[in-house]
Amino acid sequence: MDSRLLDAFIAVVQSHSYSLAAKQLGLPKSTVSRHVAELERTLGVTLLHRTTRRLNVTGAGQSLYERVLPLMNELRQVLSEMPEREGSPSGTLKITTSVDFGISVLAPLISEFLNENPNVSVDVRLTNEYVDLVKEGIDIAVRMATRRLRDSTLHARKIGQLCLYLVASPTFLAQTGPIRSPKDLESRQWVQFRGLDTVRLDGPTGTVKFAPKGRLILDDMLAAREAVRAGAGLGLLPAMTLRGELEREELVRVLPKWQPPSSDVWLLWPASNYVPRKVSVFTEFLSMRLKVTGLLG
């Protein structure tokens, strides 16, 4: 049922006049009369008796008025408090991303975002598993992929690239000997990342591919970084997680002229004709801050 029909009926009952109700609603008197008549036809009862001198509410009309008035008032209150109706973003923004990206990139920026948006709260879910955004009620996800993400239930926006470095600890290299070419990589121990079964490197003389060998398999990049730093083997790790370790020479780049493919960084949110203000503001904020900080390519 069109709520405008109930609005017209309530206004007429409260003002005891079609003319006053029309003025209150900002509608022509004929429109208000038509709304009430349509409501009566829909319900199959007479709600108002109108004579040339006065307007009377029927028993059915009084019963309907008393029952729907509190419901309509509550509905108006809910709509007036919707965060998306406000000029500035508000409410709770639910985000999900991988553990390494969340710790290395997102967490340091969240404080700045909260300072700029005092009416927003942020709920971050860090997981290396893909989350169903619609099912879990997540507003936005940050995900890495080597090719375009296609999902008809989601909007996607690419915001940068995640560079990977081939690194090892000085201790590991001292024990296993220098690495001078990609062929030397095949015989070395690797700290393997779960799901990365093949290593591809593009270099001065073309592309090489091989299956890394290792006794340690992990599914978290930060854990892999610590294992590589401890000398457990070679590792392909995000450049964003290595700044401190490279500066302190706890890790060194191996064959820097041979570069693995980069991963694209995507923002994803549920497909809808309407994007909540908190989501659009966060999307612009993260895109701009990552460009300024240089954390992504």
* The three-state (H, E, C) secondary structure of the chain, written as one string: CCHHHHHHHHHHHHHCCHHHHHHHHCCCHHHHHHHHHHHHHHHCCCCEEECCCCEEECHHHHHHHHHHHHHHHHHHHHHHCCHHHCCCCCEEEEEEECHHHHHHHHHHHHHHHHHHCCCEEEEEEECCCCCCHHHHCCCEEEEEECCCCCCCCEEEEEEEEECEEEEECHHHHHHHCCCCCHHHHCCCEEEEECCCCCEEEEECCEEEEECCEEEEEECCHHHHHHHHHCCCCEEEEEHHHCHHHHHCCCCEECCCCCECCCEEEEEEEECCCCCCHHHHHHHHHHHHHHHHHCCCC
225/248 Cα distance (integer angstroms): 14
Higher-scoring residue by pLDDT: 151, 88: 88
Q: What is the pLDDT of residues 17-74, one digit of tens each?
A: 898 888 888 889 999 999 999 999 999 999 998 876 778 899 999 999 999 988 888 8
In this structure, what CATH number is given to the domain that contains residue 108?
3.40.190.10
Report the pLDDT value the prediction gives residue 121, as an integer from 0 to 100.
93
| Number of structural domains the chain divides into | 3
Do 268 and 136 fall into the same domain? yes
Q: What sign results for the dihedral spanned by CA atoms 153, 195, 238, 113?
A: positive
For residue 154, give its domain range.
Answer: 85-163+263-293
28 to each of 6, 195, 263, how far by Cα in Å? 16, 67, 60
pLDDT confidence tier of residue 125, bands split at 50, 70 and 90: very high
CATH number at 202 reads 3.40.190.290
The answer on 169 and 249 residing in a single domain is: yes
Final residue belonging to a domain, choices 81, 109, 142: 81
Indicate whether this model's pTM tops 0.85. no
Distance CA 96, CA 225 (A): 22
Is the predicted pLDDT of residue 84 greater than 60, yes or no?
no
Q: Does one domain contain both 171 and 210?
A: yes
Query: Once rounded to an integer, what is the mean pLDDT over residues 177-198?
Result: 91
**Is residue 285 a part of any domain in this protein?**
yes
pLDDT for position 76: 76
Q: Predicted confidence band at 182 (pLDDT cuts at 50, 70, 90)?
A: very high
> In the chain, pLDDT over 90 holds for what percent of residues?
51
Say whether both 202 and 58 belong to one domain.
no
Question: Per mean pLDDT, which range of 107-111, 137-141, 148-152, 176-180 is the poorest?
Answer: 148-152
Residue 42 domain-assigned (yes or no): yes
Mean pLDDT of the chain: 87
pLDDT class for 197, splitting at 50, 70, 90?
Answer: confident
Whether residue 258 is contained in a domain is answered as: no
Q: What is the pLDDT of residue 147?
A: 65
> pLDDT at position 285, please?
92
What are 253-293's pLDDT values in tens digits?
999 999 998 888 899 988 776 778 899 899 999 988 887 76
| CATH number, position 41 | 1.10.10.10
Q: What is the pLDDT of residue 25?
A: 85
Confidence of residue 151 (pLDDT cuts 50, 70, 90): low
User: Residues 128-157: what's their mean pLDDT?
Assistant: 81
Q: Assess whether 194 and 208 both reside in one domain.
A: yes
